[in-house]
Chains A and B, each alone.
Chain A
């Protein structure tokens, strides 16, 4: 690439350099836009295909809808033993419980780690960091036995109770990092005004850590909505299926013969994730840049 050495070999005012300086941003944009199109094309095509008659899906790689059909949605909605509304509500219940659980329990633990002095702090903090890396597989079998003995199979409890107990430790870590950025003088001032530790947590720290709580909410929402492994294991009764488990049952039931309605329900399942992404982009990007969660 001779152009790389241009600034040195050719005076900055020369015509070639100027032309290159004008052309380069345009070329970059073309390359970036092309990449973006290639990346998003399959998803856009899926949305379009969900609105097409079934046989067209196998013929038309384009994204123009000539013959708009929404019956794929009607068929897909009622393709399984329960209407899709049921699965959406089930997912919503699991997601809501998980969000509440993560917000309450992780913020409490984070406050202790970031602000309170106690015996064994370093030890527990190290343990907390280690649990972030732990694969779910080393605990899933005994957890399954535990929850099945408690009679919790085919309830949402195995999916929600662990969140109430702050097992999503990366959120504890994220919140600790955030609280450390809040000036300690604020705690001091509140203490002098007569606040106890609970008061400082509720009145000073929590209101100031709203961005971290928002990040936690959005990630919990998207992950729980997408989570498949644990929902597959704990929910075997079709009445209790969440959206991912229902979609998978749909694939098995139709043996992929009705792509139109399968795509329609896939699109329905992605809409909440997409909305969460639009609303929470700022927090998502921040959260991922600081902790590496994805």
Chain B
């Protein structure tokens, strides 16, 4: 065997578990789900080819439209809020506060807990009628209410939960802030720039690649949120479908009603949405992301 051939054999041996996984667990099922998206399939009878019917059904499915509205609201409100808080605290911590490592850990911890069922259960209590929040605000003279049982505020409690997990993007911002040379700030100070000016003219532009990275990541992540809404609403997406995330509705169709063809069509539509948003982000980034080199 020639050298290159030998190299190929060795490399593909090392790659073999990943390659098997790629074809059997990822690409195969992707092709299958693309096929199922054009069928009616309930797991028991063989899939029936129905052409575009699942997609035309999506066009007139009011619950699906509502779930899109809920998901978009969630993404557009919670992601910018979460990133703003993350950036603010990263900048404060980066100034070399004593005990920085301690604060960083404390702020980061919710990112690890936030996706758990346990925290969703906690949230359900905190924002319930007898919940912690109402107990805290009652002595201050505010009238409490069932934040989770009221359709106008239920989604807001999940937004708060997502903002609460700002620690992960904060850590990425901190890593980015470290890359900014201190001499830029020194030079700006000598020229008389105050902290706000330095932030606007140095920190923000030099951090745009990191902001972009976090934005893309958190948007993809937020579109796929499931656990919190599922647990808080008892799997119903209620009250009045106000927390019916797209993924929750997909689960409801596929695994609640064994409407597998429709669920597959929904999954592909989700992929398209995420793809379009990511692509749009990349296109828009040309106008606001600043690369130093």
Contact = CB atoms under 8 A, between A and B. Distances in A.
Q: Do A and B bind each other?
A: yes
Interface of A: 1, 4-8, 25, 28-29, 31-32, 35-36, 39-40, 42-43, 45-46, 57-61, 104-106, 108-109, 111-113, 116-119, 121, 124, 127-128, 131, 133-146, 148, 161-162, 164-167, 169, 172, 197-198, 201, 222, 225-226, 228-229, 232-233, 243-244, 247-248, 251-252, 256, 259, 262-263, 266-267, 269-270, 273-274, 277, 281, 284-285, 288-290, 292, 294
A106 to B, nearest CB: 8
Given A128-B18, A135-B220, A138-B268, 20 more contacts: A5-B194, A39-B110, A42-B123, A105-B21, A111-B14, A118-B11, A128-B22, A140-B267, A164-B21, A165-B25, A167-B26, A226-B115, A243-B117, A251-B234, A263-B122, A266-B121, A269-B116, A292-B172, A292-B214, A294-B169
A162 B22 CA distance: 9
6 contacts: A4-B195, A141-B260, A165-B17, A266-B122, A285-B171, A289-B172
What 3 A-B pairs come out closest when comparing CB atoms?
A165-B21, A4-B194, A294-B168
Contacts of B171: 285, 288-289
Given A59-B135, A118-B7, A142-B29, A247 B121 contact: yes
Nearest to B191: A8
A1 B195 CA distance: 10
Interface in B98-131: 98-99, 103-113, 115-119, 121-126, 128, 130
Contacts of A124: 15, 19
Given A4-B195, A105-B21, A117 B7 contact: yes
Interface string B21-32: 110111011101
B274 interface: yes
Interface stretch (B50-58, B59-67, B69-77, B221-229): B221-229
* Most chain A CB atoms below 10 A, which of B10, B32, B93, B196: B10
Question: What is the interface residue range for chain B against chain A?
Answer: 35 or more
A164 B270 CA distance: 27
Contacts of A113: 15
Most buried by A among B25, B169, B234: B25
A19 B215 CA distance: 39
B155 to A, nearest CB: 19
B7 to A, nearest CB: 6
B2 to A, nearest CB: 12
Contacts of B110: 39, 43
Given A165-B21, A233-B255, A133 B220 contact: yes
B270 A138 contact: yes
Chain B interface, >50% SS class: helix
Nearest to B173: A289
A105 B24 CA distance: 15
Nearest to A118: B11
A108 B247 CA distance: 33
Contacts of B267: 135, 137-138, 140-141
B276 interface: no
A143 B29 contact: yes
Interface of B: 4, 7-8, 10-12, 14-22, 24-26, 28-30, 32-33, 36, 43, 89, 92-93, 95, 97-99, 103-113, 115-119, 121-126, 128, 130, 132, 135-136, 164-165, 168-169, 171-172, 174-175, 189, 192, 194-197, 213-214, 217, 220-221, 223-224, 226-227, 230-231, 234-235, 247, 250-251, 254-255, 260, 263-264, 266-268, 270-271, 274, 278
Contacts of A251: 121, 124, 231, 234
Contacts of B130: 58
Nearest to A226: B116
Given A36-B106, A166-B18, A167-B26, A262 B97 contact: no
By secondary structure, the A interface counts as: helix
B125 A197 contact: no
Contact of A28 (B97, B223, B271): B97
Nearest to A121: B11
Nearest to A169: B18
Nearest to B8: A118
A112 B224 contact: no
B89 A4 contact: no
A241 B220 CA distance: 29
A225 B174 CA distance: 27
A218 to B, nearest CB: 10
Contacts of B32: 141-142, 145
Nearest to A113: B15
A25 B95 CA distance: 10
Contacts of A197: 10, 14
A10 to B, nearest CB: 12
A29 B132 contact: no
A167 B25 contact: yes
Given A39-B106, A119-B8, A108 B36 contact: no
Contact of A116 (B14, B20, B271): B14
Given A61-B132, A133-B278, A43 B113 contact: yes
A39 B107 contact: yes
